[in-house]
Structure 1
Amino acid sequence: MRTRKRAIALGLSGAACAAMTLIGAGPASAGVGSYPYDNQDPSASGCNSDAITASSANVGGGATILLRYSPHCRTVWAHIQGAAPRTADNAGGSALIYRESDGAGIRTYCGGATSCYTPMLYDGGLTSHATGTNDTGFTIYSGTTGSY
């Protein structure tokens, strides 16, 4: 029970942080949509064709979060794999991509799937990281990649 409470507290603080990233940090925040390819699908745009995994991290509960990077498009996105599917008892998995320079962030929920990815954020000359969350119904796990 203690793990669940601590994990929920971490999840709530992460949710508050995610809400702040989507809103922006004030007038200096460029936000999502300020750069080429922001909020576009990596598959539909073709940016996934040359993608590399720039960083990865164990999320817990069998899930892994990947920070994917396209050298051609100069974009990043988050991809979670092995997450619990959403049920009546849990929220399942989610992936968050976060651009550190302006606080832009995009979160995607996997729903009933065990894998999902976010839309892209432009990353040319910038730094970003990915965070994955996996709610198994017993514990809410979270993991964050290194920055790239």
Structure 2
Amino acid sequence: MGGDSVQRVRVKAAMSALTLMAATGAVWLGLATPAQAATCSWYSGQTGTSSNCDNKDPDVLACGSDGQTIYSTRLKRSYDGALNGPLLELRYSPSCRTVWGRLTGAWGTDYDQAGCTVTVHRNSDGQEYSRKPAFGATNATVWSNTVYDAGVTAYVKAYCDTGPGYQYNGQTASY
């Protein structure tokens, strides 16, 4: 491990210790703590199919509070391949074991354009959930609902149609 890697590990360990101390202190003092994240599971003991945390807003599940960006990419413009479109992120919550997509810099549907759509896709069963920004939105941030992915993988994709000749698309790797 190089010096920078060791330093990052030490910083992460110190931050984890501080977080634990702060949480313990908040409980001891009787202060409010963040909402409890949802307990997610597969229905009927199945693996890789429907879950009680599928098709939910990550913030409603309290999964967004520990959400991490695992992969990100700029959407590619279709006519010349330029990577200058909205930013697509695959977000993951370790507490909920859920994945969702977030698109930043997106456009909503308008009178002459289809706008942007962000979609999360679970590989084990093909389950997908999509969302668009509000009608007429510009430079918006929008996220899909979640898919549970304990023991399976998922990816996110996005497509934007902002007028003739200006379509963008992209996809992350699976996680």
Greater RCO, 1 or 2 (C-alpha within 8 Å, sep 6+): 1
Equivalent pairs counted in the alignment come to: 117
Which has more radius of gyration? 2
More strand by share: 1
The answer to whether 1:105 aligns with 2:135 is no
Corresponding residue for residue 95 of structure 1: 118
Distance 1:102 1:131 in 2: 16
Corresponding residue for residue 134 of structure 1: 160
Corresponding residue for residue 63 of structure 2: 47
| Residue pair 2:117, 2:132 contacting (<8 A) in 1 also | yes
* Offset at residue 117 of structure 1 (A): 0.8
Superposed CA deviations along residues 96-120 of structure 1, whole A, max 9, x for unmatched, are 0000011111111213332211110
Distance 1:91 1:49 in 2: 31
* Offset at residue 141 of structure 1 (A): 1.0
Superposed CA deviations along residues 38-68 of structure 1, whole A, max 9, x for unmatched, are 1111011110000001111111353011110
Pick from 69, 72, 97: which aligns with 1:74?
97
CA-based RMSD: 1.5
Corresponding residue for residue 115 of structure 1: 141
Identity of aligned residues (%): 38
| Structure 2 letter corresponding to 1:57 | T
SS at match of 1:42: coil
Distance 1:85 1:101 in 2: 30
Distance 2:52 2:150 in 1: 10
| Residue pair 1:64, 1:132 contacting (<8 A) in 2 also | no
Alignment TM-score, normalising by the size of structure 2: 0.63
| Residue pair 1:63, 1:80 contacting (<8 A) in 2 also | yes
Poorly superposed stretches of 4+, deviation over 6 Å: none
* Offset at residue 126 of structure 1 (A): 0.9
Distance 1:85 1:40 in 2: 21
Unpaired segments ≥5 residues, structure 1: 1-29
